Structure formats: C-alpha cells, structure tokens
Amino acid sequence: MIHSTFYLRRLHSLVGLVVLGGVIFEHVFTNSMALGGPEALNGALAMMELIPHPIFLAIEVCCIAVPLLFHAIYGIYIALQANNNPGRLGYIRNWQFALQRWTAWFLVVFLIWHIFYLRIFTKGIMGTPISYELLQSYFTGSPLVAAIYVLGMFAAIFHFCNGITTFCMTWGIAKGPRVQNVVSVLSMCLCAALCLVTLTFMGSYFVM
Amino acid sequence: MANKEVKVIVVGGGLAGLMATLKILEGGGKVDLFSYCPVKRSHSLCAQGGINACMDLKGEHDSIYEHFDDTVYGGDFLADQLAVKGMVETAPKIIKMFDRMGVPFTRNPEGALDMRNFGGQKNKRTLFAGSTTGQQLLYALDEQVRRWEVKGGVKKYEFWEFIKVIKNKDGVVRGIVAQNMNSNEIVSFPADVVILATGGPGQVFGRCTASTICNGSAVTSVYKDGAHLANPEFIQIHPTAIPGSDKNRLMSEACRGEGGRVWVWRENPETHEKERWYFLEDMYPAYGNLVPRDVASRAIYKVCVHMGLGMHEPNRVYLDLSHIPKDYLERKLGGILEMYEDFVGKSPAEVPMEIFPSVHYSMGGIWVDRKHHTNIPGLMAAGECDYQYHGANRLGANSLLSATYSGIVAGPEALRLARSGELGEPLTDAEMEAARQECVKEFDAIRNMNGPENAHKLHHEMGEIMYKYVSIERDNIGLDQCLKELKGILKRWDNIGVTDHGNWANQEAMFVRQLRNMILYAMVVTKGARCRDESRGAHAKIVLDESGNRVTTPDGELVFMGRDDEHFMQTTIVDYDPKTEEPQVSYMEFDHSLIKPRARNYAVAKKE
Amino acid sequence: MAEQKKVRLVIERQDGPEAQPYTQEFDVDYRPGLNIVAALMEIQKNPVTVDGKRVPPVVWECNCLEKVCGACMMVINGKPRQACCSLVDNLTQPIRIAPARTFPVIRDLLIDRSVMFESLKKIQGWVNVDGSWESTDAPRQNPYTAATAYEISHCMTCGCCLEACPNVGPQSDFIGPAPTVQAYLFNLHPLGAYDAPKRLNALMEKGGITSCGNSQNCVEVCPKNIKLTTYLAQLNRDVNKQALRNIFNE
C-alpha cells in the first residue's frame, strides 16, 4: 500500500494553494506598484534584482517552475477525468467546478506564452530588463495583448481562490455546509478584490 | 471437514432469502442466490414500522409469553402455535444480531434501543430504525452477504427470474430453471436443495402496498408442480395507505403507534353538531387506534362505505399526526412523512393525512412444516411466500420477524437436508436440458403471441375484480362470481398480443408469463375464501339469506358469519388440478395445543 | 366535455447496449398526482407513439414506487432522480426522459449499476461480525452518532449522485460519492470502527476519495437528502490522519 495517487493528489492541492497563491500575490502586489507611476514599479522590480542572480534563478526553478509544472501536468490528468455538466446541473458549485477546469486549460496555454515571451525570450535571451516602460508599450501597443493578460490574471485568480475553497474541503478543514459556504463566499470576495486590483493597474497603463 | 460440499439454491434476496443464505454459508455450504433485482432492492425494504421482540426495555414487565399470546390471538388462532412459539423466543436474539451488524436502530437518550407501541399489543414491543426499519434490516443482511461474496461461497444471480423447479426421477427437487432478465437467456441450475423466499403475491390485486416485483409467480409455479398452498384466503388489508393509481403507498402503523388518531367528520347523534369522530377509539375503547389491521380496516370500510362518512369521493378517512410535536415526528417517523409530502404534497405535521385501506400482505402461501419443508421433497420455503406464523391475521411488525426467523430456521435445515443423503440422484444433463427446453418453448410461444388483449390492461382488470369480491368484506355469491370472472380472464390470457417480439430484456413477455401465474393465484385466493364459511381474522364473510341478499340487523348493520372453530379451526390446503387448472381445497389439522382458542374482541382488554 | 389533458413524454430509447439511441414521443392522459412511473405504466397499456405507431413498450426498472428501493433512477428533464416520486405537476413539459448514461445502458431506460455494488466491496461496507448467531450484546451507541448513521444508511444505491458527479463515468475510475460515504457509515459503528483503518486505506487508493473534485452535485441531487459533502469532508479529514498514521506509526 503505497497510495501514490493519494499523495500526488494531496501534493497537487498543496502546491496549488502555496505556490500558485504565492506567485499570484507576488504578481498582483508588484504590478499594483504601477499605480504609483513608473518609479514605484521600477523600484519594486529593482528590489527583486537585489537577490543574487543564482539564488534568484534557483528559487524560480525549484519553488516556482517545477511545482507549477507538476501542478499543470497532473492537473491536466485530473481535468481529463471530468465530464463537465453545468449546463444540465447548473448549481453554483458545479459552475465553479467547471470553471476551475476551463481556467486551467486557458492558463496552461497562457502561461506558456507569458513565460516564454517575457521571462525566457525578453528577459533571458534578449537581456532586456522588465520595466514599467516595457510593459506600458507592450500593453498599450496591442489592446489584444492587454485583454489576454487581464483574462489570464482573472483566470489565475479565480483558479486560486476557488482552489482555497476546494482545499478546505479536500483537507477536511471546512466540513459542514455552512462553513463550506462561508469559505466559498470569502474566497470569492478575495477573487473579486484581486480582480479589481488587476483591472486597476492594467488600466493605469492606458491612463498615465 | 468431513462434510461434502453442498450447494443450495435460494430464490429471493429479501430478508428471509438473505438470512437463509447467511446461515448456509456459515454452515459451510455454497449458495446460488437468485433475485429479480439487486437483492438490496428487495421488497423487505418497504417495511416501515418496526420488528417485534420482547426485550422489556420500558418497565412494562413484557414477557415472551405475552408476545406469543398476542400473535396467536391477533391471528385468530389459526397459526401453528409451536411455530409461533419458536419465533417469539428467538426474536430478542435476532435483534441483538442485527444490532451487532450495524442496523441503526433508533435509540433512547441512554444510547440503548428504543421501543414503540404497535397494533394488537399493549406493551411497547416494537424496535425500529426511524420509519424505515425494513430497509435497515435488509441492508444489514445485504452487507453481510456481500462480505461472504468477497470471502467466496455465494454467487448472486441478480436480474434472474425463477421459472420452475426441476425434479429428479424420484420426484425430489434438485434444481431450477431461471431466465436472465436482460439477455433473456434461459438456463438450468442444479442444486442439492432449493429454498424459495420469493415474497408475497400483492400484485394479484393490482394496486397494493407491495412492490411491482411481488407477483407471487414463483409460488404459483411450484403450486403447479404439486406444492400445497395454505390459507391463501387470508389477505391482509392494511388500514392506512395513500391510494394511488400506480400503487397504494403504505402509511405505517407506527403513525398510530406514535399517537396518530383516525377520524372522520360526523354529526353528533345527540347534540347534532359537526364533530370529529375518532371512531376506532369509540368502537374499541381498550385498544383504540391500535387495534389489529383487519379490525381497523373493516372499521374504516364500514365508516366510509356503509355509513357514508368518508370525506368525499373517493373515500378517505383522516389519519392525524398534526397534534404531535414536529421534532418528535421527525425523529420517530421522518422517512414516511417525507414520503407523504413527496407524493401528496402536504406535510402530515400540519394537516391530517388522507388514507384508505389497501391490500398489504398475504398470511397464506406455500404450506411448510415447522422446519420450512414444503410437501415436495428438496423444496423449502421461507418468508412471506410461506404460510407460517400469522394465522388469519398478521400483527404489525411481526413480518420482519417472521421473515428473518424463517430464514434462520430454513438455512441450517437446508444444509442438514443437503448433507443427509435423502435426496436421491442429482439431475442428469438430459433432465436439465429437457426442463430448459420446455421453458424456452414456453417463452418463445409468449414472444410470438399476437392476440388483441394487452397484458397490462388484463392485469388491471384482474386487480379490480379481486378488490371488488375478495377484499375486506366477502360473500359467497360474490366469490362465485369472482371465480367465474377469473376463468374468463384466464381464457383471455390466451388472446394476449405482445408488441415486443425480441429476445433482449423483453419485459413484456416476462410479464405475460407472470400474469398467467397471477391469475391462477387469484383463483386460489378466491377458492380458499369461497370454501371457508366463517369469519376469521382478515377473512370476513357476510351472511346471505336464501335468495342471496345480504342479511342486516334491524338497525341496518351487516351480519357477518361468526368464527366456526368446530369446522374451520383447520389450515386450508389448496392443490392444483392440472386437468382443469382449478384449485382443489381440503383442510389439514395444525397444532394449537398451547393456547386454548377464545373469542377475539378488541373492544375490551385481552383476557387470557 | 372538456378535452382530456395530455402529458407529452419524450423518451430516449436504445434497443441494446451497442445500439444507437433514438427518441420517441408518447402522450399520456393527465391526472392529478401522476408520476413518471405511472406514466410509463400507461404507455405499457397502450404502447403507441404520438405518430400512431405501435412500438414495444419502454423498458425500465422499478420496484417499490415509494422512493426506498432506488431502482427507478433515470434522467428526467436533465436531472437524475427517482421516477416514482417525480410528479408530472412539478415538471416542465414536454418531459424529457433519458437513461443515466454514466452507467452502461442495457435497454431503453434500463441501466447496469452493478459497479456500485462492486464498489461497496472495495470499501468493505459491512461490520465484521463473528457470525449471525447469538453472541454478546452490541455496545450502546451515542444516540446522536446513531442518528447520523441512520441518515447515511438511507442510501439506496440509486446512483443519482454518480450520474450527477462530473468525475464519475467511463473517463474516470472514481467509485463515486455514495459508496465512498458508505465507508463512513461503517466507521461510525462501534464494532465497524475496528476496521476503519482498512476502509480509509481503501479510500486512499486510485479511484477513491481523492477523485472527488468538490463539484457538490451529489448533495444537490441526493433523493434521500444525505449530507454527502459533509461526510466526504469528514472522510477527507480521516484519510489525512490515516496517512499520517501510516507514515509515522509503521
């Protein structure tokens, strides 16, 4: 009895909450600096550059890339086991269940593009540092890109926040229907708040 | 183990069948278990109110003798008393077994078993799991049999219909023919002993409280092969059911056990004011709403049909729980209250339920001795399909008990018989194939029937006829007429046409085969009733004068025949006459040595 | 005389496991309190479609008609439910009836649910009693715990929750909510609890409780109103503890 399925599933759940959560909070926090203008954002980006490069890279690979890759690949396997049916059974939780999987599919594609273009191509290969100016020209240059980025952020935020709810159920933290409901409402509030922040800082590129 | 390996076929996966199976497995035998449906869906699960056992947990000094006496008295002294004695003595052990198996019996605040009142008994003697006791007991046995399925020893044939038994050249039953209800494949199975636990024949009456699978077809099949049927005229009519066009849904006696009252509106004979008349309490002061079922049904029938006090067309009376606190009802009766809401749309906690009597249970069935052998060697019967334990009327909550107990008796006895070497030769392949071919031929003939009659309409008509003549009140002219009409139905069966000629999950053809058996069983019931010229328990016969009119008293009440111990303190035995296809009635002595018969009167407290 | 009110049923039929599904429409006389089983019975009496074609009657499974046996589960207007207690008055017409395709279809509305009973074997859904003979008395039980057990013990293996669950079906090996929650029932019993680690370990295996995706459809469609999601969460808690015990105690 090794129960590898059990441990993989639990790991998948934990990674989703901690790593995806961490990445989302980092992105929302850093990017929201854009609201303070170019200096604020560039300052925040510069702060990160203070971490020595090899350590930074190690953190990126071990704490972000590998866990997220695991979450994505195992997540695809999980998503393939679902036969989504919210059209027939339109309960809120069922919609959230389906959205969890649909956002996952979108995120897999979006993140590949996002990471390859910004992190690997622009920053890694071309050596161009990420800056307020770069992002502004990138987004304002093509509203389609901006729209996809907003959607990508929304998808990631929803996937994470709904993940909090399912995490609480999967780990047996929220047991009864009332507490499950409270957790669900709270995490959806968090979802709305993070989406609002995202919309604001993305909008700021166009206003300023 | 010196014992040679033996195999018993158990037909029917309700309480009796599963209990017998378990006992055989524990004794080291092998079992092939046949059922119309997954055994977990057997009709035992419709039993609601509870199971009787004298545990005396309520400080009432209840005794096993009291249970014994209530059962015999409730059955109007037609039950084999030695058999009943065995059952009531075993009852407390059965409860303890079920408790260990995990039946979620309702508990008192101390965590011990709770008990409730039930009809025909003055002490709290009924153990219950909410209002779904049968479901919980059946599940417990289903789980245990599943455990044995994993261990090995039992093979389930679910969705297999029993067609007939196969006898060897000595006339000993050594196998059965059965049909897979999905593939329609017909196969012969050999065995050492066959136990039938196929339940009651409720569907003979069309609408009743029984499941659609309770058609008594298997019973008729062995009757045609020479098994005696016993006391078939005793059909229990349950006083409180929700009438419906597809079935009458049972409203448990537990409603009255927990304080429910039955009433109708009437004009007070003295004050002439409109009032609620709690007629059961009025007519039977000692037992009130908890009179036995036959008594309550006749009272309701009288109030509705003869006095015209039923609430409207169609006839109904009120069963009232609305005076009882809601949380108490929820705890004790939850399941059935929900059912009333589901099917009627009103909450019984707020408004009185509208109910009427319905056919519910057959006290009669295959004749068996106290060890559950039928008169055909090698064939045994257990559960509702046998006639044992209930006499002329069954007390509520005794059916779960008798079903379980008969399994407990039949199982080990089947094993003993299988190992005894008294069974002669096993079936030869030729015998098995011949029996199989016969059934295949019959089924093929049915599949190709092309007449104008529809089997389901015919079934409906038969139900109407049976309700009209052979239900709560019977008279000889009606019964004669009924037999005549049933013969007509039997003739019309030949003119049935099926629209489904296929050989895959052909439910229509299987139903046509069952229907013929149901008609024959209806004739058995009617003939038994016709020949018993007395009133006893559920069988109430009206006196007719010479010109065939119903005799009434000066104040207009119908006159019923009395109980005639001199002539009819005997078990009715019905045999099949293959030439005429008609039932032949005779009578057989039975044991009533322990309690001397006395008049049955629920208006006063029971005297011993 | 007013014209008899009719009920239109659109039934998805299928002649055999491999056959192509097709639909047929039937009209049935309306009457108050009519339910779907009663309507199907009317079709048996007169198996003629709205086009006037005489066809084999619809095949389905039903026993008790009281919502306790679990046999007559089918998909009615998109939702899995018991046909016997689906009153026509509460359904929008035309009423669409289909088999629960999570399970293999045998014919018409008749399906093969044997997989559920097999799952009950996997979770060891029984109390390991010494035998059916008389032995010691069963231990007393906390009446509140017993009430919870009673609630779960209402499960009639009808399969509504499996049909509704997006994670149950040919694409997945999930045993489904009903059999999973049954494990909790036996863990609650004072004698059944002895084997609780075995059941929890069984639930940790592939197709066990980890396949639950929390869509919570099960609790919405359960005809017996069993709080399936609550007990699933409790079982999640229990298997996590069991995992810790497996790691640290062995």
Chain B 108-167, residues with CB within 8 Å of chain C CB atoms: 108-112, 129-130, 132, 135-136, 139, 143-144, 146-147, 149-150, 158
| Spans of chain A below 70 pLDDT | 1
Which pLDDT score is estimated for B484? Answer: 98
Chain A interface disruption, residue of C167, C187, C214, most A CBs within 10 A: C214
Contact A82 C232 (CB under 8 A): no
Tell me how close the Cα of A81 comes to any Cα of chain C, in angstroms.
5
Mean pLDDT of B133-145: 98
| Chain B contact present for C10, CB below 8 A | no
Which pLDDT score is estimated for A2? Answer: 81
Q: What is the pLDDT of residues B492-508, one digit of tens each?
A: 999 999 999 999 999 99
Q: Which amino acid is present at A106?
A: F
- Structural domain containing residue A61: 2-207
| Chain A contact present for C149, CB below 8 A | no
Residue B334 binned pLDDT confidence (cut-offs 50, 70, 90):
confident
Q: Over 90: is that where the pLDDT of B312 sits? A: no
Residue B320 structure tokens? 């009232």
Residue C8 binned pLDDT confidence (cut-offs 50, 70, 90):
very high
Contact C46 B454 (CB under 8 A): yes
Residue of chain C with shortest Cα separation from A177: C230
Contact A177 C243 (CB under 8 A): no
Give CA torsion, residues B369, B374, B375, B377, to 10 deg: -120
Query: First CA to last CA across chain B, in angstroms?
Result: 50
Residue C35 binned pLDDT confidence (cut-offs 50, 70, 90):
very high
Contact A97 C230 (CB under 8 A): no
Measured between CB atoms, which of B97, B456, B507 is closest to C45? B456
Tell me how close the Cα of A200 comes to any Cα of chain C, in angstroms.
32
Residue B344 binned pLDDT confidence (cut-offs 50, 70, 90):
confident
- The domain total for chain A is 1
- C217 forms bridges with which residues in the sheet? none
Q: Over 50: is that where the pLDDT of B475 sits? A: yes
How far is residue C210 CA from its own chain's centroid?
20
What is the share, in percent, of chain B residues with pLDDT greater than 90? 93
Chain C residues with CB-CB distance to B96 below 8 A: 134-135, 137-138
Is residue C41 within 8 A of residue B456, CB to CB? The reply is: yes
Q: What is the pLDDT of residues C38-74, one digit of tens each?
A: 999 999 999 999 999 999 999 999 999 999 999 999 9
Which pLDDT score is estimated for B607? Answer: 64
Q: Over 50: is that where the pLDDT of B218 sits? A: yes
Evaluated on CA atoms B50, B55, B60, B64, the torsion sign reads positive
Q: Over 50: is that where the pLDDT of B1 sits? A: no
Mean pLDDT of B159-174: 97
Is residue B157 within 8 A of residue B343, CB to CB? The reply is: no
Q: What are phi and psi of B510, to 5 degrees?
A: -65, -35
Which pLDDT score is estimated for B313? Answer: 66
Q: Where are the alpha helices (DSSP H) in B169-227?
A: 217-224
Mean pLDDT of B297-322: 90
Chain C 95-154, residues with CB within 8 Å of chain B CB atoms: 106-108, 110, 112-114, 117, 120-121, 124-129, 131-135, 137-138, 140-143, 146-147, 149-150, 153-154
Mean pLDDT of C141-167: 96
Residue B267 binned pLDDT confidence (cut-offs 50, 70, 90):
very high
Residue in the structure block whose two tokens are 């078990």: B571
The CA distance from B440 to B446, in Å, is 10
Chain A interface disruption, residue of C77, C210, C239, C247, most A CBs within 10 A: C210
Q: What is the pLDDT of residues B365-404, one digit of tens each?
A: 999 999 999 999 999 999 999 999 999 999 999 999 999 9
Q: Over 90: is that where the pLDDT of B143 sits? A: yes
Which pLDDT score is estimated for B57? Answer: 94
pTM for the whole structure: 0.96
Residue B469 structure tokens? 């003549």
Tell me how close the Cα of A171 comes to any Cα of chain C, in angstroms.
6
Average model confidence (pLDDT) for chain B? 95
* Cα distances (angstroms) measured from residue B395 to each of B282, C204, C222: 21, 48, 34
The 3-state DSSP class for residue B139 equals helix
Neighbouring chains to C with at least 3 Cβ pairs closer than 8 Å: A, B
Query: First CA to last CA across chain C, in angstroms?
Result: 80
Measured between CB atoms, which of C120, C133, C146 is closest to B104? C146
| Chain B contact present for C194, CB below 8 A | no
Segment (H or E) for B276? strand B274-277
What is the share, in percent, of chain B residues with pLDDT greater than 70? 99
Chain C residues with CB-CB distance to B245 below 8 A: 31, 33-34, 38
CA angle (B37 as vertex; B32, B38 as ends), nearest 5: 70
Give me Rg for the CA atoms of chain A. Answer: 18
Nearest to B423 by CA among B225, B117, B191: B191
* Cα distances (angstroms) measured from residue C15 to each of B182, C21, C57, C76, C115: 12, 8, 11, 19, 22
Asked if this assembly's ipTM is beyond 0.90, the reply is: yes
Residue B595 structure tokens? 């309690």
Which pLDDT score is estimated for C136? Answer: 87
Which pLDDT score is estimated for B10? Answer: 98
Mean pLDDT of B10-31: 97
DSSP B539: B
* Cα distances (angstroms) measured from residue A96 to each of A90, A100, A185, B27, B409: 10, 6, 12, 54, 56
Mean pLDDT of C206-216: 95
Which pLDDT score is estimated for C96? Answer: 97
Chain A residues with CB-CB distance to C206 below 8 A: 5
What CATH number is given to the structural domain containing A107? 1.20.1300.10
Which pLDDT score is estimated for B606? Answer: 75
Residue B245 binned pLDDT confidence (cut-offs 50, 70, 90):
confident
Q: What is the pLDDT of residues B551-588, one digit of tens each?
A: 999 988 999 999 999 999 999 999 999 999 999 999 99
